[in-house]
Amino acid sequence: MEIAVLLVGLAAAVWALLLIQVHDVVTGTAIFLVATSVLPPEYASIEVGVSITADRVWIAVLGMQFLYDLWIGRSSWRRWSGADLFLMLFLLWLVLRTVVTPIGQEIKGQPSTMMHLINGYLVPAFLYCVLRNTHPNPKLVWGGVAVLLIFGGYLSMTAILEITKQWNLVFPSFIGDPKLGIHFGRARGPMLNSVRLGMCLCVCLTALWVFLVWQKPKNISTWIIAGILTPLFTLGIALTYTRSIWMAALAILVVLLLTMLSGKTRLTAVGGLVFSAVLAALIAGPNLVAFKREYSAAETLESTRMRGAFAYVSWRMFEDRPLIGYGFNQFQVYNRPYLDDRTTDIRLESIRGYVHHNSYLSLLVDLGLVGGILYGLASAAMLRSVWNVMRDRGSTAMAKSIAVFSLCLIVSHAIQMAFHEVSFSSIEYTLLMFALGLSQAFQKQTSNDTDTVKEPVAPRRVETRNAWST
């Protein structure tokens, strides 16, 4: 077994050395998103003390890619911005509140605290670091966009096959196993989770319009691709049967209309959309609170009522430890006495054994005011950075597209945080950090910069003066 692992490792190392010379970190990050979504441990893993999966191998390749890019000058360390500083302070506090938590304070069946930390926060933060330090070359972005569009097409088709129960055509086949993951009965994709599937599809739909349509509106092939993929992605989003995802898609549409249109056209489009949404809410509101998904309408209604229980218990816990919280990933451990509270009519017992369903409250309970404030400052600084790029008339077209893309993902992510704990996998924050890392890389690029950046040459292969002439 050891020899087989060694041979596989050597082969992987050779391929990695080849790959880092032909691809870029933008496309590589998009590929990581595909790998961590489509090829999780349920599909394939090698156990050698730790689980070796496709996404973990690829993150190592990306690390090598980043070092190679630093060596040849395709990436470089940049001065920290305020957003970077607040993000780093938040991560330091998060790590501190993790390592001081007693070992073993975890819930059976849930990811360990350390894996929760690594997958949910540290891996996305690493990807953000890699992307923010890359040199802003618009050509690099298109590779990542192409991966996202292909990924979105695959996810949408998979969603349709799931709902129509065409299990023989579903890949990977474990998607059809009701014992794995959650949300079996609605479209959930290889993530085995409808929320993650919906978030990915929202990102793919946003990339389609922000980059392809907005950047190339006069290209006939653009409208052919948009005409095919837009309804396909939208159908996939609808088939998740997840209200927070529908809300995110609507919010993204509002952002796109506000940024891509102007004048009376924008006012008319946004006004019509808001009127239609309000009318639909008035007509179908009760049905949206309780409707049949994988379970009955009554169980969907109970899921809605559980939000109140999460909020009540979280606030009581926060009142007892407001400053530093209980420690990362400790809500389920310390909430048990609070579930016995009989001073309220809220059915607190309904959330026993459940992970938190509100990331904001989860942060306050686990990390206290210190963690909550640092997270808020990092988020506000990122939002301000994105807004500045959008408002800067000197920004290039690609920089503005990335800024709008980032704003859409910030809005979508913020909505999901209000209804779910979004840090149990590397998918949710990777989506956000993919956009924010690119936004930070392109925020200094103006229309005075050239849109094409020559590929640097490794200084050891040519004379010094030629190496630095690029």
pLDDT of residue 260: 83
Predicted confidence band at 57 (pLDDT cuts at 50, 70, 90)?
confident
**Bridge partners, 47 (sequence order):** 51
Q: What is the chain's length?
A: 470
User: Does residue 408 contact residue 252 with C-beta atoms inside 8 Å?
Assistant: yes
Considering only residues 226 and 336, tell me which one the structure prediction assigns the higher pLDDT.
226
436 closest CA partner among 125, 89, 150: 125
Q: What is the mean pLDDT of residues 147-161?
A: 95
State the pLDDT at residue 23: 67
Model confidence at 120: pLDDT above 70? yes
Q: What is the pLDDT of residue 284?
A: 64
pLDDT band at 47 (very low <50, low <70, confident <90, very high): low
Q: Percentage of the chain with pLDDT > 70?
A: 80
By the 8 A CB rule, do 94 and 359 touch?
no
Q: Give the Cα separation of 54 and 40 in Å (integer).
A: 7
Mean local confidence (pLDDT), 40-51: 68
Give the confidence band of 138 by pLDDT, cuts at 50, 70, 90: confident
The mean pLDDT of 16-28, rounded to a whole number, is: 69
Confidence (pLDDT) at 121: 95
Tell me the H-state helices in 76-191.
Answer: 82-99, 113-117, 123-132, 138-163
pLDDT tens column, 184-225: 889 999 999 999 999 999 999 999 999 999 989 889 999 999
pLDDT score of 460: 45
Task: Evaluate if residue 19 carries a pLDDT over 70.
Answer: no
- In degrees, to the nearest 5, what angle opens at C-alpha 313 toward C-alphas 312 and 319? 90
Q: Where are the alpha helices (DSSP H) in 136-262?
A: 138-163, 194-207, 214-215, 220-238, 243-260
Mean confidence (pLDDT) of the chain: 82
Is the pLDDT score of 449 beyond 70?
Answer: no
Give the pLDDT score at 6. 47
The domain spans of the chain are 1-74, 82-467
pLDDT in tens, 287-322: 555 545 555 545 555 566 777 888 888 889 998 899
Query: What pLDDT score does 13 carry?
Result: 52
Print burial letters for 197-209: b (CB count within 10 Å at least 16), e (below 16): bbbbbbbbbbbbb
Q: How confident is the model at residue 467 (pLDDT cuts 50, 70, 90)?
A: very low
Distance (Å) of CA 3 to CA 7, 48, 58, 64, 198? 6, 12, 22, 24, 41
- Average of per-residue pLDDT across 155-183: 91
**Amino acid, res. 330:** Q
455 band by pLDDT with thresholds 50, 70 and 90: very low
Summarize pLDDT for 72-119 with one digit per residue, the tens: 888 888 888 888 999 999 999 999 999 887 655 566 666 788 888 999
| 383-390 contacts at long range (C-beta below 8 A, 24 or more positions apart) | 383/407, 383/410, 384/83, 385/81, 385/83, 385/439, 385/440, 385/443, 386/410, 386/436, 386/439, 388/443, 389/439, 389/442, 389/443, 390/259
**Residue that wins the pLDDT comparison between 56 and 125:** 125
- Rounded CA separation 416/202 (Å): 12
Confidence of residue 286 (pLDDT cuts 50, 70, 90): low
> Structure pTM?
0.85
Residue 50 has pLDDT above 80, yes or no: no
Q: Tokens 């087989």 — which residue?
A: 4
Separation of alpha carbons 198 and 242, rounded Å: 8
- Confidence grade of residue 433 (pLDDT, cut at 50, 70, 90): very high
